Amino acid sequence: MLAPVLTEYRKVEMLEHPAPVSTAGSVIVKVGYASICGSDQHVWNGDFHPRTKLPFVQGHEFAGEIMEVGKGVKRFKAGDRVAVDPIFWCGKCAACAKGHFPACASLKLLGIDVDGGFAPYVSAQEHMLFKVPNNVDDRIAALVEVFSIGFHACNRAGLANDDTAVIFGAGKIGQVILQAAMNRTNGDLYIVDILPERLAIARKSCPRVKTINASECDPVAAIKDLTNGRGTDVAFEAVGHYRTAISELSPVRQAVQTIRQGGTVCVLGLADDPVPLVLKELIWKEAKIVASRVTHGEFAESIDHLSKGLLNPNPLVTDIITADKIQEAFLLLEREPEKHLKILVKH
């Protein structure tokens, strides 16, 4: 099959690549749409080296139709529309023994560790498949994985109804956390970014969110003001690599300063830079910092919410391209982050 192969870091080429074969317990999915993730940008750039073994095909956010069913597959048949949870866990490490699969010591993902959904055909195991109802179209089904990331972050943060929350970073992950949070709580929601275009997307997809432009004000002071000095119950950090703006502090430290006494900070940004923190600020609040990685069964919840119209995927999608334009798309995401958010790859 012809597929966009990452042949060296920062270089995707359309090449002939071996098509997957169905084995016992697995199916071949004909991908409808895939979506480019921030992690894909990191992989493309070489940030996941030496974990990523070149050459391979990226893409862990995708959905499609089952073409071929391997022996022993019981719940699915050819023609079923499915979203694919890209995770494999080992089942043997200390985290897996406790059922904490996202923390698996040798967690692998389709599209990061093995060939994924930027190819037209992908092999997936039965337990990774989730049926997609007819009222969720192929384009939107490709976003099930990333919305699940948002729900998982809310679970990790323990976001409860009536809790207030702030999200630092209105990029791809910040936006899906916002949409999951608007379904989880009636409490006030805030989102912080330095790009007004991203804050506009947040307001479009969640009209009740209050947006804060960190290049115009100090977000900690702004949120303290908006919450009458109390702070929010939860703060999510979805910035990763950051640029200082009005506040010189790292977004994680701003998050610690923004939460109420006893609140929670949930971190997701995948930057390599050390983050300066003053732990006293955390201890005096007897607060918590938790991390959130991938998903843990939230696919069903995302599909159900998309099917009921409770999520607004459309404002997030800025571009739809074909697979031969993926190299260009990575460059655009890097050079013009204000113009591009979710880029979908149509097969």
Q: Does 103 bind Zn ion (CB under 5 A)?
A: no
Beta carbons of 171 and 199 less than 8 angstroms apart: no
**CA-to-CA distance for 120 and 14, rounded, in angstroms?**
12
Q: 75-86 burial, b if ≥16 CB within 10 A, otherwise e? A: ebeeebbbbbbb
Interacting stretch for Zn ion, rule CB under 5 A, among 11-19, 103-111, 162-170, 334-342?
103-111
CB of 89 to Zn ion, least distance (A): 5
Report the residue number whose CB is nearest to Zn ion: 37
Q: Work out which of 43, 104, 129, 214 binds Zn ion, going by CB under 5 A.
A: 104
Q: Does 93 bind Zn ion (CB under 5 A)?
A: yes
Helix H or strand E encompassing 172:
helix 172-184
Beta carbons of 29 and 66 less than 8 angstroms apart: yes
CB of 101 to Zn ion, least distance (A): 7
Q: Of the candidates 38, 148, 135, 138, which has an alpha carbon nearest to the alpha carbon of residue 86?
A: 148
Interacting stretch for Zn ion, rule CB under 5 A, among 84-92, 123-131, 152-160, 308-316?
84-92
Q: Work out which of 1, 2, 21, 90 binds Zn ion, going by CB under 5 A.
A: 90
| DSSP, residue by residue, 14-41 | EEE-PPP---TTEEEEEEEEEE--HHHH
CB of 233 to Zn ion, least distance (A): 26
Number of residues that bind Zn ion (CB under 5 A): 7
- Our CB check for Zn ion shows the closer of 104 and 154 to be 104
**CA-to-CA distance for 285 and 237, rounded, in angstroms?**
18
**CA-to-CA distance for 93 and 234, rounded, in angstroms?**
30
Q: How far is CA 305 from CA 64, 153, 208, 251, in A?
A: 19, 16, 18, 30
Beta carbons of 123 and 22 less than 8 angstroms apart: yes
- Our CB check for Zn ion shows the closer of 147 and 168 to be 147
Q: Does 96 bind Zn ion (CB under 5 A)?
A: yes
Interacting stretch for Zn ion, rule CB under 5 A, among 29-37, 157-165, 298-306, 333-341?
29-37
CB of 106 to Zn ion, least distance (A): 6
> Taking each helix axis from N to C terminus, what angle separates 144-157 and 172-184, rounded to the nearest 10 degrees?
60
Q: Does 341 bind Zn ion (CB under 5 A)?
A: no
CB of 217 to Zn ion, least distance (A): 30
- Our CB check for Zn ion shows the closer of 173 and 249 to be 173
Distant-in-sequence, close-in-space partners of 158: CB < 8 Å, separation ≥ 6: 234, 264
According to CB under 5 A, which residues from 35 to 54 bind Zn ion? 37, 39
Per the structure block, which two tokens stand in for 271? Answer: 């930057």
CB of 220 to Zn ion, least distance (A): 29
CB of 145 to Zn ion, least distance (A): 6
Helix H or strand E encompassing 326:
helix 326-335
- Our CB check for Zn ion shows the closer of 176 and 249 to be 176
Q: Does 344 bind Zn ion (CB under 5 A)?
A: no
According to CB under 5 A, which residues from 153 to 212 bind Zn ion? none
Binding site for Zn ion (CB under 5 A): 37, 39, 89-90, 93, 96, 104
